[in-house]
Amino acid sequence: MPSTLVSQRRGIYGLAWGRGAHTERAENECSKGSPESGIFRNISGHLAPAHRMESRQIGDGMSSNVIFSEEVWCDMETMGGGWMLVQKRHNGSVDFHRTWREYKQGFGGASGEHWLGNSALHRISTSRDYSLLVLLRDADGNEAHSLYAHFHISDEDKNYSLHARGFSGTAGKTSSLTRSGTMFSTKDRDNDFCSCKCAQMASGGWWFEACGPSNLNGVYYPGTGVSKVAYNSIKWYYWKGPSLRATMTAMMLRPADF
């Protein structure tokens, strides 16, 4: 892992569905080509706005498909690059204690703190075999990562349940993600296995079990001047236990065969 968490360029992911050979085809521009000079940014810095959604019709001679695309930030350096940024926390500027609908659609801006959206995460991660990389930094400047060689989430009918395997990395000897099959929960849609309503207690939408060892969407507390870590703070338990004061998190996807 590089000591600086990492440079990026803007990219587009495209999702096409309809009739014919191109049904449910997703393209990740982050995993194509090489970084373009002049548009690198640091993942923990302040980036220019880069978030948009568009749709257009295309024809391939056999059918008419609809393509939806959204601009994302690409990490072109970490572990060989090709990563698409789908979650980022670095200054607490965005409230992550959101509704089911908001987590489905996504919120924030791609250039700053954001959640890409569970609907998009499902479509991308099931279009082909993807890997997930989690990056972390604490208040002392320590950095770590967790890599999942294979990752996808199910559709909304299955409450965007998480599926991850092939764990490795430096953020603990054990995975802090809950077990595969765990469903996503928000403050207004409780899918965990605890009567305590984990998303309400943890102040963020996440894959809670009861309530589990991780929550990258908890409340962002400043790295300094905090005498006690709150239960609803950002959590990646098997790295720093209950004492973690996270100042940066990122979740990124790229094709597993990159």
Q: Residue 188 — pLDDT band, cuts 50, 70, 90?
A: very high
Closest CA to 147 of 80, 196, 98, 102: 80
pLDDT at 73: 87
In sequence order, what are the residues at sequence separation of 6 or more whose Cβ sits closer than 8 angstroms to the Cβ of residue 132?
147, 148, 151, 164, 251, 252, 253
In CATH, the number for domain 79-255 is 3.90.215.10
Distances (CA, A) of 118 to 157, 196, 207, 234: 12, 23, 11, 19
Q: In this predicted structure, which of 6-10, 51-55, 211-215, 218-222 has the lowest mean pLDDT? A: 51-55
Q: For 103-118, what is each residue's pLDDT tens digit?
A: 999 999 988 999 999 9
Q: For 77-87, what is each residue's pLDDT tens digit?
A: 899 999 999 99
Domain ranges of the chain: 79-255
Please state the pTM of the whole predicted model: 0.81
